[in-house]
Structure 1
Amino acid sequence: MPRTSEFPNSDNLAALVRYYRFHSRIYDASRWLFLFGRSRLIQMLPTYCQPNHILEVGCGTGKNLLHLHRIFPNASLAGLDLSPAMLDRARTKMARQDHVPEFIQQAYDRPIAPDVPYDLLVFSYTLSMFNASWRQAIGSAYADLRPGGAVAVVDFHDSPVAVFKKWMACNHVHMQGHLLPELRSGFHTRFCEIYPAYGGLWTYFRFIGEKVERPFSDVGSLISKTAGKT
Protein backbone atom coordinates (compact mmCIF):
# COMPACT_ATOMS: atom_id res chain seq x y z
CA MET A 1 0.00 0.00 0.00
CA PRO A 2 1.40 3.42 -0.91
CA ARG A 3 2.48 5.76 1.83
CA THR A 4 1.29 9.36 1.77
CA SER A 5 4.68 10.50 0.50
CA GLU A 6 4.18 8.56 -2.74
CA PHE A 7 1.51 11.02 -3.81
CA PRO A 8 3.10 14.06 -5.49
CA ASN A 9 1.30 16.84 -3.61
CA SER A 10 -0.34 17.30 -0.23
CA ASP A 11 -4.03 18.19 -0.05
CA ASN A 12 -4.56 21.61 -1.57
CA LEU A 13 -7.86 22.60 -0.02
CA ALA A 14 -8.02 25.98 -1.74
CA ALA A 15 -7.51 24.31 -5.12
CA LEU A 16 -10.36 21.88 -4.43
CA VAL A 17 -12.68 24.72 -3.47
CA ARG A 18 -11.84 26.49 -6.76
CA TYR A 19 -12.27 23.24 -8.71
CA TYR A 20 -15.78 22.66 -7.40
CA ARG A 21 -16.83 26.30 -7.72
CA PHE A 22 -17.09 25.56 -11.45
CA HIS A 23 -17.84 21.82 -11.37
CA SER A 24 -20.79 22.21 -8.99
CA ARG A 25 -22.72 23.63 -11.95
CA ILE A 26 -22.20 20.55 -14.14
CA TYR A 27 -21.66 17.85 -11.49
CA ASP A 28 -25.01 16.06 -11.61
CA ALA A 29 -25.21 16.28 -15.40
CA SER A 30 -21.74 14.82 -16.02
CA ARG A 31 -20.66 12.50 -13.20
CA TRP A 32 -22.97 9.62 -14.17
CA LEU A 33 -20.48 8.96 -16.97
CA PHE A 34 -17.84 7.63 -14.57
CA LEU A 35 -19.00 7.63 -10.93
CA PHE A 36 -20.46 4.15 -11.05
CA GLY A 37 -22.12 2.20 -8.25
CA ARG A 38 -23.36 5.08 -6.10
CA SER A 39 -27.07 4.32 -6.20
CA ARG A 40 -26.48 0.59 -5.92
CA LEU A 41 -24.42 1.06 -2.74
CA ILE A 42 -27.24 2.97 -1.06
CA GLN A 43 -29.86 0.49 -2.25
CA MET A 44 -27.87 -2.29 -0.55
CA LEU A 45 -27.70 -0.59 2.85
CA PRO A 46 -30.99 -1.79 4.42
CA THR A 47 -29.63 -5.34 4.23
CA TYR A 48 -26.72 -4.36 6.49
CA CYS A 49 -28.02 -1.58 8.76
CA GLN A 50 -31.06 0.38 9.93
CA PRO A 51 -29.46 3.70 10.89
CA ASN A 52 -31.04 6.54 12.81
CA HIS A 53 -28.12 8.98 12.49
CA ILE A 54 -26.28 9.22 9.15
CA LEU A 55 -23.31 11.28 7.94
CA GLU A 56 -22.20 11.51 4.33
CA VAL A 57 -18.63 12.77 3.98
CA GLY A 58 -18.16 14.63 0.72
CA CYS A 59 -21.91 14.99 0.15
CA GLY A 60 -21.45 17.22 -2.90
CA THR A 61 -24.73 18.36 -4.47
CA GLY A 62 -26.85 16.17 -2.20
CA LYS A 63 -27.73 13.41 -4.69
CA ASN A 64 -26.90 10.65 -2.22
CA LEU A 65 -28.51 12.48 0.71
CA LEU A 66 -31.78 12.60 -1.21
CA HIS A 67 -31.52 8.87 -1.92
CA LEU A 68 -30.66 8.12 1.71
CA HIS A 69 -33.66 10.15 2.87
CA ARG A 70 -35.98 8.12 0.65
CA ILE A 71 -34.61 4.81 1.92
CA PHE A 72 -34.34 5.84 5.58
CA PRO A 73 -37.10 8.50 5.89
CA ASN A 74 -36.96 8.66 9.69
CA ALA A 75 -33.19 8.99 10.00
CA SER A 76 -31.46 12.27 10.77
CA LEU A 77 -28.98 13.19 8.04
CA ALA A 78 -25.82 15.27 7.97
CA GLY A 79 -23.75 16.18 4.94
CA LEU A 80 -20.15 17.34 5.15
CA ASP A 81 -18.29 18.95 2.27
CA LEU A 82 -15.38 21.31 1.78
CA SER A 83 -16.99 23.21 -1.09
CA PRO A 84 -19.51 25.98 -0.30
CA ALA A 85 -20.74 25.87 -3.92
CA MET A 86 -21.56 22.15 -3.67
CA LEU A 87 -23.27 22.62 -0.31
CA ASP A 88 -25.42 25.43 -1.72
CA ARG A 89 -26.75 23.01 -4.32
CA ALA A 90 -27.30 20.32 -1.72
CA ARG A 91 -29.30 22.72 0.45
CA THR A 92 -31.50 23.62 -2.51
CA LYS A 93 -32.03 19.97 -3.41
CA MET A 94 -33.01 18.99 0.13
CA ALA A 95 -34.98 22.10 1.11
CA ARG A 96 -38.41 20.57 0.41
CA GLN A 97 -37.81 17.28 2.22
CA ASP A 98 -39.47 16.38 5.52
CA HIS A 99 -36.12 16.29 7.32
CA VAL A 100 -33.57 18.85 6.15
CA PRO A 101 -30.01 17.59 6.77
CA GLU A 102 -27.44 19.36 8.86
CA PHE A 103 -24.78 20.73 6.52
CA ILE A 104 -21.17 21.03 7.67
CA GLN A 105 -18.53 22.89 5.65
CA GLN A 106 -15.05 21.67 6.59
CA ALA A 107 -12.36 19.13 5.78
CA TYR A 108 -12.80 15.68 7.32
CA ASP A 109 -9.40 15.31 8.95
CA ARG A 110 -10.60 14.74 12.53
CA PRO A 111 -13.67 13.25 14.24
CA ILE A 112 -16.62 15.61 14.38
CA ALA A 113 -19.12 13.79 16.62
CA PRO A 114 -17.36 12.06 19.52
CA ASP A 115 -20.32 12.61 21.88
CA VAL A 116 -23.13 11.73 19.43
CA PRO A 117 -21.81 8.88 17.29
CA TYR A 118 -23.31 8.05 13.91
CA ASP A 119 -24.92 4.76 12.94
CA LEU A 120 -23.78 5.04 9.31
CA LEU A 121 -21.04 6.94 7.47
CA VAL A 122 -21.07 7.12 3.68
CA PHE A 123 -18.12 7.99 1.43
CA SER A 124 -19.02 8.23 -2.26
CA TYR A 125 -15.99 8.93 -4.46
CA THR A 126 -14.52 11.00 -1.67
CA LEU A 127 -11.58 9.14 -0.13
CA SER A 128 -9.68 8.93 -3.43
CA MET A 129 -9.63 12.75 -3.45
CA PHE A 130 -8.08 12.95 0.02
CA ASN A 131 -4.53 13.08 -1.23
CA ALA A 132 -2.65 13.38 2.06
CA SER A 133 -5.43 12.78 4.59
CA TRP A 134 -7.24 9.63 3.52
CA ARG A 135 -5.89 7.66 6.48
CA GLN A 136 -7.03 10.38 8.86
CA ALA A 137 -10.49 10.28 7.25
CA ILE A 138 -10.79 6.52 7.76
CA GLY A 139 -9.63 6.87 11.36
CA SER A 140 -12.11 9.71 11.88
CA ALA A 141 -14.91 7.51 10.52
CA TYR A 142 -14.02 4.85 13.08
CA ALA A 143 -14.11 7.42 15.87
CA ASP A 144 -17.40 8.94 14.69
CA LEU A 145 -19.26 5.59 14.49
CA ARG A 146 -21.00 3.86 17.38
CA PRO A 147 -19.94 0.26 18.08
CA GLY A 148 -21.70 -1.87 15.48
CA GLY A 149 -22.14 1.12 13.17
CA ALA A 150 -21.53 0.81 9.44
CA VAL A 151 -19.25 2.54 6.96
CA ALA A 152 -20.24 2.38 3.29
CA VAL A 153 -17.79 3.33 0.55
CA VAL A 154 -17.87 3.42 -3.23
CA ASP A 155 -14.74 4.75 -4.94
CA PHE A 156 -12.08 4.37 -7.57
CA HIS A 157 -9.71 1.46 -6.94
CA ASP A 158 -6.91 1.20 -9.49
CA SER A 159 -5.95 1.36 -13.16
CA PRO A 160 -3.36 -0.52 -15.22
CA VAL A 161 -2.84 2.58 -17.39
CA ALA A 162 -0.23 4.93 -15.96
CA VAL A 163 -1.18 7.87 -18.19
CA PHE A 164 -4.80 7.61 -17.09
CA LYS A 165 -3.76 7.59 -13.43
CA LYS A 166 -1.70 10.73 -13.97
CA TRP A 167 -4.60 12.43 -15.72
CA MET A 168 -6.93 11.54 -12.85
CA ALA A 169 -4.37 12.89 -10.37
CA CYS A 170 -4.53 16.21 -12.21
CA ASN A 171 -8.23 16.16 -11.33
CA HIS A 172 -7.43 15.51 -7.64
CA VAL A 173 -8.20 11.75 -7.81
CA HIS A 174 -5.66 9.11 -6.73
CA MET A 175 -6.26 5.47 -7.64
CA GLN A 176 -3.43 3.32 -6.36
CA GLY A 177 -5.36 0.43 -4.82
CA HIS A 178 -4.59 1.98 -1.44
CA LEU A 179 -8.06 2.43 0.06
CA LEU A 180 -9.45 -1.09 0.36
CA PRO A 181 -6.59 -2.53 2.47
CA GLU A 182 -6.99 0.29 4.99
CA LEU A 183 -10.77 -0.08 5.12
CA ARG A 184 -10.52 -3.83 5.59
CA SER A 185 -7.96 -3.46 8.35
CA GLY A 186 -10.06 -0.88 10.20
CA PHE A 187 -13.53 -2.42 9.89
CA HIS A 188 -15.08 -5.88 9.83
CA THR A 189 -15.93 -6.52 6.16
CA ARG A 190 -19.61 -7.14 5.50
CA PHE A 191 -19.45 -6.63 1.73
CA CYS A 192 -16.56 -5.97 -0.64
CA GLU A 193 -16.41 -6.25 -4.43
CA ILE A 194 -14.27 -4.72 -7.20
CA TYR A 195 -15.73 -3.96 -10.63
CA PRO A 196 -14.21 -3.05 -14.02
CA ALA A 197 -15.15 0.17 -15.82
CA TYR A 198 -14.87 0.86 -19.54
CA GLY A 199 -13.36 -2.51 -20.38
CA GLY A 200 -10.84 -2.38 -17.53
CA LEU A 201 -9.52 1.15 -18.04
CA TRP A 202 -10.01 1.40 -14.29
CA THR A 203 -11.66 -0.50 -11.47
CA TYR A 204 -13.93 0.75 -8.70
CA PHE A 205 -15.16 -0.90 -5.52
CA ARG A 206 -18.06 -1.05 -3.13
CA PHE A 207 -17.35 -1.74 0.53
CA ILE A 208 -19.56 -2.03 3.59
CA GLY A 209 -17.83 -2.52 6.93
CA GLU A 210 -18.84 -2.69 10.57
CA LYS A 211 -17.14 -1.06 13.54
CA VAL A 212 -16.27 -3.88 15.94
CA GLU A 213 -14.70 -3.89 19.37
CA ARG A 214 -10.90 -3.88 19.21
CA PRO A 215 -8.07 -4.35 21.66
CA PHE A 216 -7.18 -0.99 23.19
CA SER A 217 -3.80 -0.85 21.43
CA ASP A 218 -5.44 -1.42 18.03
CA VAL A 219 -7.97 1.33 18.66
CA GLY A 220 -5.25 3.76 19.67
CA SER A 221 -3.31 2.99 16.50
CA LEU A 222 -6.33 3.59 14.29
CA ILE A 223 -7.50 6.77 16.00
CA SER A 224 -3.98 8.23 15.93
CA LYS A 225 -4.36 8.47 12.16
CA THR A 226 -6.78 11.32 12.68
CA ALA A 227 -3.81 13.32 13.88
CA GLY A 228 -1.68 12.28 10.92
CA LYS A 229 0.47 9.84 12.92
CA THR A 230 1.01 7.32 10.13
Structure 2
Amino acid sequence: MEIQGTYTDHSHDTNVEKYYRFHSRIYDATRWSFLFGRDQLLDMIPVLPSQPRILEVGCGTGKNLDRLQYHFPDAHLVGVDLSPAMLNIARNKLSDTKQVELVQAKYGSEELNLEPFDLILFSYSLTMFADGIEDIMAQVSKDLNKRGYVAVVDFNTSPYKWFRQWMGMNHVDLNGHILPLLNKYYRPVETQKDDAYLGLWSYFKFIGQYT
Protein backbone atom coordinates (compact mmCIF):
# COMPACT_ATOMS: atom_id res chain seq x y z
CA MET A 1 0.00 0.00 0.00
CA GLU A 2 1.43 3.39 -0.97
CA ILE A 3 0.46 6.66 0.70
CA GLN A 4 1.31 9.92 -1.05
CA GLY A 5 2.06 12.46 1.67
CA THR A 6 3.29 16.03 1.62
CA TYR A 7 6.14 17.81 3.32
CA THR A 8 7.32 21.34 3.87
CA ASP A 9 9.44 22.43 0.90
CA HIS A 10 12.57 23.64 2.69
CA SER A 11 15.62 24.16 0.49
CA HIS A 12 17.57 21.35 2.19
CA ASP A 13 14.75 18.88 1.61
CA THR A 14 14.44 19.96 -2.02
CA ASN A 15 18.17 19.54 -2.59
CA VAL A 16 18.15 16.07 -1.03
CA GLU A 17 15.19 15.03 -3.17
CA LYS A 18 16.96 16.24 -6.32
CA TYR A 19 20.14 14.44 -5.25
CA TYR A 20 18.35 11.12 -4.96
CA ARG A 21 16.39 11.67 -8.15
CA PHE A 22 19.70 10.94 -9.90
CA HIS A 23 21.35 8.64 -7.34
CA SER A 24 18.34 6.33 -7.14
CA ARG A 25 19.50 4.87 -10.48
CA ILE A 26 22.89 3.83 -9.07
CA TYR A 27 22.11 3.55 -5.36
CA ASP A 28 21.94 -0.21 -4.89
CA ALA A 29 24.87 -0.79 -7.25
CA THR A 30 27.21 1.58 -5.39
CA ARG A 31 26.22 2.01 -1.75
CA TRP A 32 27.38 -1.47 -0.67
CA SER A 33 30.91 0.01 -0.66
CA PHE A 34 29.92 2.85 1.68
CA LEU A 35 27.00 1.97 3.91
CA PHE A 36 28.47 -0.63 6.22
CA GLY A 37 26.66 -2.40 9.06
CA ARG A 38 23.10 -2.34 7.75
CA ASP A 39 22.53 -6.10 7.74
CA GLN A 40 24.32 -6.49 11.07
CA LEU A 41 22.03 -3.89 12.68
CA LEU A 42 18.94 -5.82 11.64
CA ASP A 43 20.42 -8.96 13.18
CA MET A 44 20.89 -7.05 16.45
CA ILE A 45 17.20 -6.08 16.84
CA PRO A 46 15.74 -7.54 20.06
CA VAL A 47 12.64 -9.72 20.21
CA LEU A 48 9.55 -7.65 19.41
CA PRO A 49 5.90 -8.23 20.36
CA SER A 50 3.66 -10.30 18.12
CA GLN A 51 2.54 -8.41 15.00
CA PRO A 52 4.87 -5.49 15.67
CA ARG A 53 4.60 -2.11 14.01
CA ILE A 54 7.94 -1.09 12.47
CA LEU A 55 8.85 2.25 10.88
CA GLU A 56 11.91 2.96 8.76
CA VAL A 57 12.69 6.65 8.31
CA GLY A 58 14.59 7.23 5.07
CA CYS A 59 13.73 3.80 3.68
CA GLY A 60 15.27 4.55 0.28
CA THR A 61 15.13 1.67 -2.20
CA GLY A 62 13.61 -0.73 0.34
CA LYS A 63 16.68 -2.87 1.09
CA ASN A 64 16.04 -2.90 4.83
CA LEU A 65 12.27 -3.26 4.47
CA ASP A 66 12.84 -6.34 2.31
CA ARG A 67 14.97 -7.91 5.05
CA LEU A 68 12.54 -6.84 7.75
CA GLN A 69 9.81 -8.75 5.95
CA TYR A 70 11.97 -11.85 6.39
CA HIS A 71 12.89 -11.15 10.03
CA PHE A 72 9.33 -10.17 11.07
CA PRO A 73 6.83 -11.84 8.70
CA ASP A 74 3.86 -10.83 10.87
CA ALA A 75 4.90 -7.17 11.16
CA HIS A 76 3.19 -4.11 9.76
CA LEU A 77 5.96 -2.10 8.07
CA VAL A 78 5.96 1.59 7.17
CA GLY A 79 8.70 3.20 5.08
CA VAL A 80 9.00 6.99 4.90
CA ASP A 81 11.20 8.79 2.39
CA LEU A 82 11.46 12.21 0.72
CA SER A 83 12.31 10.79 -2.69
CA PRO A 84 9.60 9.44 -5.00
CA ALA A 85 12.33 7.98 -7.23
CA MET A 86 13.70 5.89 -4.37
CA LEU A 87 10.20 4.79 -3.36
CA ASN A 88 9.47 3.64 -6.91
CA ILE A 89 12.42 1.25 -6.66
CA ALA A 90 11.31 0.09 -3.21
CA ARG A 91 7.79 -0.62 -4.49
CA ASN A 92 9.16 -2.91 -7.20
CA LYS A 93 11.56 -4.65 -4.83
CA LEU A 94 9.24 -5.60 -1.98
CA SER A 95 7.70 -9.06 -2.16
CA ASP A 96 4.51 -8.29 -0.23
CA THR A 97 3.35 -4.72 -0.66
CA LYS A 98 0.24 -5.44 1.41
CA GLN A 99 2.54 -5.75 4.44
CA VAL A 100 4.26 -2.44 3.73
CA GLU A 101 3.10 1.17 3.51
CA LEU A 102 5.38 3.50 1.54
CA VAL A 103 5.00 7.14 2.46
CA GLN A 104 6.46 10.06 0.52
CA ALA A 105 6.92 12.65 3.24
CA LYS A 106 9.35 14.40 5.53
CA TYR A 107 9.50 12.66 8.90
CA GLY A 108 8.26 14.99 11.60
CA SER A 109 6.00 17.02 9.31
CA GLU A 110 2.57 17.90 10.64
CA GLU A 111 0.88 16.08 7.76
CA LEU A 112 2.47 12.77 8.77
CA ASN A 113 0.20 11.34 11.45
CA LEU A 114 1.32 7.83 12.44
CA GLU A 115 0.23 5.29 15.03
CA PRO A 116 2.94 4.34 17.60
CA PHE A 117 5.60 1.81 16.65
CA ASP A 118 7.46 -0.98 18.44
CA LEU A 119 10.62 -0.23 16.44
CA ILE A 120 11.83 2.82 14.53
CA LEU A 121 14.81 2.29 12.22
CA PHE A 122 17.21 4.87 10.82
CA SER A 123 19.76 3.56 8.32
CA TYR A 124 22.19 6.25 7.23
CA SER A 125 19.50 8.91 7.38
CA LEU A 126 19.97 10.86 10.63
CA THR A 127 23.22 12.47 9.43
CA MET A 128 21.23 13.91 6.50
CA PHE A 129 18.63 15.76 8.57
CA ALA A 130 20.69 18.96 8.93
CA ASP A 131 19.11 21.40 11.42
CA GLY A 132 16.38 20.28 13.78
CA ILE A 133 17.90 16.94 14.70
CA GLU A 134 16.80 17.30 18.34
CA ASP A 135 13.25 17.85 17.09
CA ILE A 136 13.56 14.52 15.26
CA MET A 137 14.68 12.82 18.48
CA ALA A 138 11.67 14.24 20.28
CA GLN A 139 9.38 13.09 17.45
CA VAL A 140 10.77 9.56 17.67
CA SER A 141 9.97 9.50 21.37
CA LYS A 142 6.38 10.43 20.55
CA ASP A 143 6.11 7.77 17.87
CA LEU A 144 7.48 4.87 19.91
CA ASN A 145 5.33 2.59 22.02
CA LYS A 146 6.27 2.31 25.67
CA ARG A 147 9.50 0.30 25.83
CA GLY A 148 9.81 0.45 22.05
CA TYR A 149 13.21 0.41 20.37
CA VAL A 150 15.11 2.75 18.11
CA ALA A 151 17.74 1.17 15.85
CA VAL A 152 20.33 3.31 14.07
CA VAL A 153 23.28 2.67 11.80
CA ASP A 154 25.05 5.77 10.50
CA PHE A 155 28.26 7.64 9.87
CA ASN A 156 29.99 8.97 12.97
CA THR A 157 32.89 11.22 11.99
CA SER A 158 36.22 11.44 10.18
CA PRO A 159 39.62 12.79 11.27
CA TYR A 160 40.06 14.32 7.81
CA LYS A 161 38.60 17.76 7.15
CA TRP A 162 38.59 17.29 3.37
CA PHE A 163 36.51 14.12 3.71
CA ARG A 164 34.03 15.78 6.09
CA GLN A 165 33.67 18.63 3.60
CA TRP A 166 33.20 16.24 0.68
CA MET A 167 30.53 14.32 2.57
CA GLY A 168 28.88 17.64 3.42
CA MET A 169 28.58 18.30 -0.30
CA ASN A 170 26.64 15.01 -0.41
CA HIS A 171 24.30 16.23 2.37
CA VAL A 172 25.94 14.14 5.12
CA ASP A 173 27.02 15.73 8.42
CA LEU A 174 30.10 14.00 9.87
CA ASN A 175 30.39 16.04 13.07
CA GLY A 176 29.93 13.02 15.34
CA HIS A 177 26.84 14.52 16.98
CA ILE A 178 24.29 11.74 16.39
CA LEU A 179 25.48 9.09 18.85
CA PRO A 180 25.63 11.48 21.85
CA LEU A 181 22.06 12.56 21.09
CA LEU A 182 20.86 8.96 20.93
CA ASN A 183 22.47 8.28 24.31
CA LYS A 184 20.76 11.39 25.66
CA TYR A 185 17.26 10.39 24.59
CA TYR A 186 17.32 6.58 24.82
CA ARG A 187 18.66 3.92 27.14
CA PRO A 188 21.42 2.13 25.19
CA VAL A 189 20.85 -1.60 24.73
CA GLU A 190 23.80 -2.16 22.40
CA THR A 191 26.34 0.16 20.78
CA GLN A 192 29.12 -0.72 18.36
CA LYS A 193 31.59 1.63 16.65
CA ASP A 194 33.83 0.63 13.76
CA ASP A 195 36.28 2.22 11.34
CA ALA A 196 35.96 2.10 7.56
CA TYR A 197 38.87 1.99 5.15
CA LEU A 198 41.61 2.11 7.80
CA GLY A 199 40.01 5.01 9.64
CA LEU A 200 38.93 7.25 6.76
CA TRP A 201 35.67 7.50 8.65
CA SER A 202 33.93 5.79 11.55
CA TYR A 203 30.38 4.51 11.76
CA PHE A 204 28.19 3.12 14.52
CA LYS A 205 25.34 0.78 15.24
CA PHE A 206 22.98 1.63 18.09
CA ILE A 207 19.98 -0.07 19.67
CA GLY A 208 18.21 1.97 22.32
CA GLN A 209 14.99 1.72 24.25
CA TYR A 210 12.45 4.37 25.09
CA THR A 211 11.52 3.99 28.75
Question: TM-score surpassing 0.5?
Answer: yes
CA distance in 2, matches of 1:20, 1:151: 25
Q: Does the Cα contact within 8 Å between 1:11 and 1:133 map onto a contact in 2? A: no
SS at match of 2:191: strand
Residue range with higher mean Cα deviation, 48-57 or 75-84? 48-57
> What residue identity is the alignment partner of 2:102?
F
Distance 2:74 2:183 in 1: 30
Contact 2:154 2:204 in 1 (8 A): yes
Pair 194,11 (structure 1): closer, same or farther in 2 beyond 3 Å: farther
> 1:119 — aligned with what?
118
Provide the secondary structure at the position in 1 that maps to 2:30: helix
Q: Tell me by how many angstroms 1:144 deviates.
A: 0.2
Report how many residues are paired.
200
Query: What residue number does 1:219 align with?
Result: none
CA deviations 1:143-186 (Å, max 9, x no partner) are 10011000000000010000000000000000111001110110
Q: Which residue of 2 aligns with 1:34?
A: 34
User: Whole-Å Cα distance in 1 between the matches of residues 113 and 143 of structure 2?
Assistant: 5
Distance 1:56 1:132 in 2: 20
CA deviation string 1:11-57 (max 9, x = no partner): 61111111001100110010000100000000111x35346100000
Name the TM-score, length of structure 2 as normaliser: 0.90
Structure 2: which amino acid aligns with 1:38? R
**1:113 touches 1:144 (CA, 8 Å); kept in 2?**
no
Aligned partners of 1:98, 1:110: CA distance in 2, in Å?
A: 24
Q: Distance in 2 between matches of 1:209 and 1:11?
A: 31
**Shift in Å at residue 97 of structure 1?**
1.9
Q: Distance in 2 between matches of 1:197 and 1:82?
A: 27
In the alignment, structure 2 segments of 5+ residues that lack a partner are: 1-9
If each structure's helix is expressed as a fraction of its own residues, which one has the higher value? 1
Tell me how far 1:200 sits from its aligned partner: 0.5
Structure 2 partner of 1:24: 24
Shift, 1:98, TM fit:
6.8
2:182 maps to 1:183:
yes
Of 47-56 and 116-125, deviating more is: 47-56
Unaligned runs of 5+ in 1: 1-9, 213-230
**Identity value in percent:** 46
Q: CA RMSD for the aligned pairs?
A: 1.6
